[in-house]
Amino acid sequence: MTDALDDRLTRAASAPDVRKAVAAILRETFEAARVRIARRLDAGGEGVEVARLYSAAADDLLTALWRFTTETLYPAANPSEAERLTLIAVGGYGRGVLAPHSDLDLLFLRPWKPIPRTEQVIEFMLYVLWDLGVKVGQSARSVDECLALAKSDMTVRTALLEARPLAGDEKLAADFIARFRAMVVKADPRPFIAAKLEERDVRHQKAGAVRYRVEPNVKDGKGGLRDLNTLFWIARSLAPDSPLGARVMDGLLTARERRTFEESFDFLWRVRAHLHLTAGRPEEKLTFDLQPEVARRMGWRGRGDEPAVERFMRRYFLVARDVGALTRAMSAKLEARQQKSTMSLSRLIPGRKRKLGVEGFTEDAGRLSVTGPEVFAAAPEKLLMLFRTADEHDLDLHPDAFSAVSRSLSLVTPSLRRDPEATRAFLDILAHGQRPYRVLTLMNETGLLGRFLPEWGRIVGQTQFNMYHAYTVDEHTLQAIGIINDIWRGKLKADHPSSSEIVHRIDDFEALMLAMLLHDVGKGGDRGQLEDGAIAARRACDRLGLDPRRTEFVVWLVRNHLTLSDYAQKRDVSDPATVKAFTRLVGDPERLRTLLILTVADIRAVGPGVWNAWKGGLIRDLYQRTESVFRGEDLTHADPLDDYPDLVGRARLNGAAVEALTVRADEAEEYAATRVAVAARDRPGLFVDLAGALAAAG
């Protein structure tokens, strides 16, 4: 195949337009290879296998083009020292994996300064690649230029860590790689590691800092491929001569963690390949319009009321969670290696330890750690106590402790779920903690929260295939809990002045927070979200040992958590009948106050921009009118809009036609909107004319 291709390219040298002829031949062979690989993917090929096949196809393309350019078009039978040139794959391509529409990162390496022949070779090759529509990230540098840049520029160093010779002067490539690796071995690894971690944080902020956004970025998002690549790069920087940093990786991860790493890596590569092929471009964001087709291509099928796309996305987010756990686990081992230089990878501060009053818990480098997994084996309730201690002392969880929890989940038995001490620690975190969102998120990512509360476990990673919800069900719920905590602490007083006062009048704050945690656990159930949620909430409350009165309150809140927003947004809150019906449903002021805070947090946690002043005005109006009923006040009052038809007179509406519309507008500040009343006889096109007039008026 290689000889036949070379023969065809050689004959193309005599064509009137050599570049065009060469591009046509290479396009034919390259596209044929890509079609074969796509078929392999559709047939169930593994993600990494397919990524390597795409890389191999690119290798074949480039080496064929190199041979033609250097041996036929610009031959040099006995190249001088200055004419030596080699082609090196760097970056992800250097690692030997590519997505269907990935860029090709190339380094044209020369010994010294450029000369005419090397410039001609580089120029011709790049023009042909561009003619083929291949995106190329290329650089042409001397050996010394590369080494100098790699010392100061961590991005260049990262790319060169994965340098892989493709074609050209083998000795030049080997000498360069040997010098580069020697430089990396001698260098202090801390600046590189710090740069990679900082780069990761910036990337997360740009792609969406939350791991569970329902339109995730497969490459750059939190829990995506680049997070795993970062671990590769760090490992490679510590052992540059080890393929893919394997020697370091094997020493940092357990066999189970390494298996999870490989499975996650393969799954994400499959998703990325299908995503590129579905979109027909280098798309990295798994958007709503692409998710169903990617799910179909990957073989997912619906089950019960859960469609295929939601099952697929749930799997995606569970993998993203695993990637986060792997990052923590590997960081822990890396920190242990760097203790001699008092280096902390995550915080870059000297390590120190102090006891925290609980046997087996210690502070290590400003984070909460444990002396070993045996701490939990001896006292499983300490799994919950660990997170309460972290919150009490405002400590992040050390990766060692994180890993110890993840490896001890088998200790979460039915007896632990009913253990009073474990329950007390859990409720303290939920309702009395300083930062419940942060701590519960850690519990969720270790897998502990879903093990301790099985009702929660069934919604971890669950998605809702619509444009309204920005997060998975579990992430939405945790954000809602964080919002209630912010309201209670006065952090949202500017947005919710009345709620910030009302929340402190709630008698049973634990019931509110438990209801918030459980409010969506019925999603996807056969009986409907509200009924299944109420059943699950009762089961959870009974297991946690709540007394019957509190259990009934939590169950009522879960069953009715949509009621306030439904009444406020779908009914006329100025109608006394609406208010009376809502008042009868609520029953007492405590339920009203609790339901208000739950509703505000639930709406705000749906996604950015979902809460607005209009919704707030409607909810506040219904709350105030209902509260006035509980105080015994009279609901009968005139609505301001009742006076507006008097502008033309009710009698005229019953008789003569009104030629011109009569409109009176009232700027209602409490609704952050304009209230408009129109008096006119009905006629065809009236609604269209009204809509047009309102749009024209802005």
User: Is residue 658 scored above 50 in pLDDT?
Assistant: no
User: Is residue 348 scored above 50 in pLDDT?
Assistant: no
pLDDT score recorded for residue 634: 75
User: Is residue 649 scored above 80 in pLDDT?
Assistant: no
Amino acid at 571: R
Which tokens is 104 given?
Answer: 């090709």
In degrees, to the nearest 5, what angle opens at C-alpha 523 toward C-alphas 517 and 524? Answer: 150
CATH number at residue 8: 3.30.460.10
Mean pLDDT of 152-159: 93
User: Is residue 411 scored above 80 in pLDDT?
Assistant: yes
Helix (H) or strand (E) holding 236: helix 225-238
Instruction: Give the domain-ending residue among 315, 342, 369.
Output: 342
pLDDT score recorded for residue 427: 98
What phi-psi label fits residue 299: left (phi over 0), alpha (psi between -120 and 50 degrees) or beta?
left
Mean pLDDT of 489-511: 93
437 in any annotated domain: no
In which band, very low, low, confident or very high, does the pLDDT at 665 lie, cut at 50, 70 and 90? low
Mean pLDDT of 495-520: 95
pLDDT score recorded for residue 335: 65
Range(s) of the domain holding residue 217? 190-342
List Cβ neighbours of 541 (8 Å cut-off, separation of 6 or more).
Answer: 514, 550, 551, 554, 555
**Contact, 390 vs 397, CB < 8 A?**
yes
Question: How many Å is the maximal CA-CA distance in the chain?
Answer: 106
Q: Tokens 């760090």 belong to which residue? A: 234
Give 553-572 as a 3 state SS string. Answer: HHHHHHHCCCHHHHHHHHCC
pTM of the model: 0.81
Mean pLDDT of 659-668: 52
216 with 137, same domain: the answer is no
Mean pLDDT of 377-406: 93
In which band, very low, low, confident or very high, does the pLDDT at 180 lie, cut at 50, 70 and 90? very high
70 with 180, same domain: the answer is yes
565 in any annotated domain: yes
Distance CA 104, CA 132 (A): 12
For residue 579, report the phi and psi dihedrals to the nearest 5 degrees. Answer: -65, -40
Q: Tokens 């919950």 belong to which residue? A: 384
Q: Identify each DSSP E strand in 123-196 by its residue range.
A: 136-142, 164-168
The model's pLDDT over 192-219, given as tens digits with 9 standing for 90+, comes to 888 888 888 888 777 665 666 788 999 9
Helix axes 116-131, 47-67, angle to 10 degrees: 130
458 with 599, same domain: the answer is yes
Mean pLDDT of 167-178: 96
599 with 498, same domain: the answer is yes
Which residues, listed in sequence order, are joined to residue 679 by a DSSP beta bridge?
A: 662
174 with 217, same domain: the answer is no
Instruction: Give the mean pLDDT of the chain.
Output: 88
Which tokens is 659 given?
Answer: 């030629």
71 with 131, same domain: the answer is yes
User: Is residue 326 scored above 60 in pLDDT?
Assistant: yes
pLDDT score recorded for residue 466: 67
CATH number at residue 297: 1.20.120.330
292 in any annotated domain: yes
Amino acid at 30: F
Choose the weakest-confidence range: 69-83, 458-472, 632-646.
632-646
pLDDT score recorded for residue 351: 47
pLDDT score recorded for residue 502: 96
Instruction: Give the percent of the chain with pLDDT over 70.
Output: 89
pLDDT score recorded for residue 641: 46
In which band, very low, low, confident or very high, does the pLDDT at 329 lie, cut at 50, 70 and 90? confident
**Mapping DSSP to helix (H, G, I), strand (E, B) and coil, where does residue 622 land?**
helix
How many CB atoms within 10 Å of residue 431?
Answer: 21
- The half-sphere exposure of 177 on its side-chain side, counting CA atoms within 13 A, is 24
156 in any annotated domain: no
Highest mean pLDDT among 151-155, 254-258, 349-353: 151-155
In which band, very low, low, confident or very high, does the pLDDT at 646 lie, cut at 50, 70 and 90? low
Mean pLDDT of 139-143: 96
575 in any annotated domain: yes
Mean pLDDT of 343-360: 60
pLDDT score recorded for residue 304: 77
| Total number of domains in the chain | 4
648 with 610, same domain: the answer is no
128 with 208, same domain: the answer is no
466 with 612, same domain: the answer is yes
User: Is residue 343 scored above 50 in pLDDT?
Assistant: no
Highest mean pLDDT among 211-215, 243-247, 437-441: 437-441
Which tokens is 346 given?
Answer: 């995550």
535 with 645, same domain: the answer is no
404 in any annotated domain: no
649 with 576, same domain: the answer is no
Instruction: Give the domain-ending residue among 630, 665, 688.
Output: 630
Which tokens is 544 given?
Answer: 């946690």
667 with 626, same domain: the answer is no
**What's the distance, Cα to Cα, between the start and end of the chain in Å?**
67
Q: Which residue has the higher pLDDT, 529 or 654?
A: 529
In which band, very low, low, confident or very high, does the pLDDT at 666 lie, cut at 50, 70 and 90? low
Amino acid at 527: R
pLDDT score recorded for residue 377: 95
Instruction: Give the domain-ending residue among 321, 342, 363.
Output: 342
Mean pLDDT of 216-238: 90
380 in any annotated domain: no
557 in any annotated domain: yes
